[in-house]
Amino acid sequence: MPSTTTLAETTREFIRTEVLPIDDAHDGDVEAAGGDDLRMRLQSLARERGLLTPHAPVEIGGLGLNMTDRAPVFEEAGYSLFGPMALNVNAPDEGNVHLLAHVGSQAQRETYLRPLVEGRWRSAFAMTEPPPGAGSDPGALLTTARKVSDGWLINGRKRFITGADGAGFLIIMARTSGEPDSATGATMFLAPATTPGITLDRHVGTVDRSMIGGHCELTFTDVLVPDRDILGEVDEGFGYAQVRLGPARMTHVMRWTGAAQRAHETAVRYATERRVFGASLAKLGMAQQMIADNEIDLAATRALLREACGALDAGERASKQTSIAKTFAAEALHRVADRSVQLCGGLGVSSDLPMAKIARELRPFRIYDGPSEVHRWSIAKRAVRQYGSGVQ
């Protein structure tokens, strides 16, 4: 296997020569750029360079990168909004590869994981529901799965299901025991998207436009899933969700760091060349403060990411580390993009430079994979448990 440094350098060259021009030509709108046809074309080029799905298990066709080794490669991919799609490391597929590799049976790995790793299928992770169902609180899960003689019948609704339009299969979270607001009793099911009873009701309009397959609302009406397509064990779905969510939050950080880095580099280049009040903009104190603050936010994001990835690679659950890194990064990287917009003035909010689209795509990260407020609540609860006992 090539070294991580070599992989990152190869990714850098591929993204900047093959992917970035298409991204810029279409202002980061993946459907306008060609949707799945574009994905398959770019993934074919990535495959030729040995870059496709590098985090997947070696025996399935990947390179087996651990979390720490993914960081520089995924960051280089994220330099373009279409880069993660081109390498097959975008959400939700990246997280679903991780989940299936850790939880799936051998038959499920062949049926679902292999075509996902090879880029023949996309996937979706169907957990979030319309109110009052599951969202930031997974325990509010309302979608149900009822045991029948030939499997399980799933009924319910899902919303904000990224990539559902055009997906080859879904991972569906449904309640198999317990009551809503219970933190137990969920089960994960695998279902081809063509399974009778799965209806794509609509695309939910959102500010971001780079996620292939959109963010969709689905209805499940007596969707029959055989026992062989239970992912893991019955009633253990919430636990398996943690197997997926912690690493997936960190790979989000990796990808968005690449996008924020591009915004920063572009803004510094512009500020160096732009002359105002008789001097280079980059020599003015207020501009220098924004540039310095961007450098600080990027460095701090990478440091927190390294700590969290190290803990995950050591086999820890790393809930605290991933929550801290995700919360800080979601806000810090958006600050980087926002300052970059400001440095470039009118051009910063135009499509002539990439900052506006990067800021647009970054903003939802403070909500996706857990709002910052929910992560702060979780971080605070851990601190109170650790330090609060006996405090006067």
Domains for the chain: give ranges and CATH numbers.
4-90 (1.10.540.10), 123-235 (2.40.110.10), 238-386 (1.20.140.10)
Coil vs helix vs strand at 259: helix
d(CA 233, CA 26): 44
Q: Over the stretch 307-325, which tens digit does the pLDDT of each residue have?
A: 999 999 999 999 999 999 9
Long-range contacts of 128-135 (CB under 8 A, 24+ apart): 128/158, 128/159, 128/160, 128/161, 129/156, 129/157, 129/158, 129/159, 130/157, 130/159, 130/217, 132/180, 133/157, 133/180, 134/173
The pLDDT value recorded for residue 235 is 96
Distance CA 215, CA 205 (A): 8
Asked whether the beta carbons of 387 and 278 are under 8 A apart, the reply is no
| Tally of CB atoms within 10 A around 370 | 21
**Positions in the chain whose pLDDT score sits under 50:** 392
- Those residues whose C-beta lies under 8 Å from the C-beta of residue 279, and which sit 6 or more positions away, are none
The token pair that represents 28 in the structure block: 């980061």
Give 198's DSSP letter: E
d(CA 301, CA 258): 11
The pLDDT score that the predictor gives to residue 392 is 46
pLDDT of residue 180: 85
Check: CB of residue 188 under 8 Å from CB of residue 238.
no
Which tokens is 209 given? 């436009």
First-to-final CA distance of the chain: 56
Euclidean distance between CA atoms 73 and 84, whole angstroms:
10
How many residues are present in the chain? 392
pLDDT in tens, 19-48: 999 999 999 999 999 999 999 999 999 999
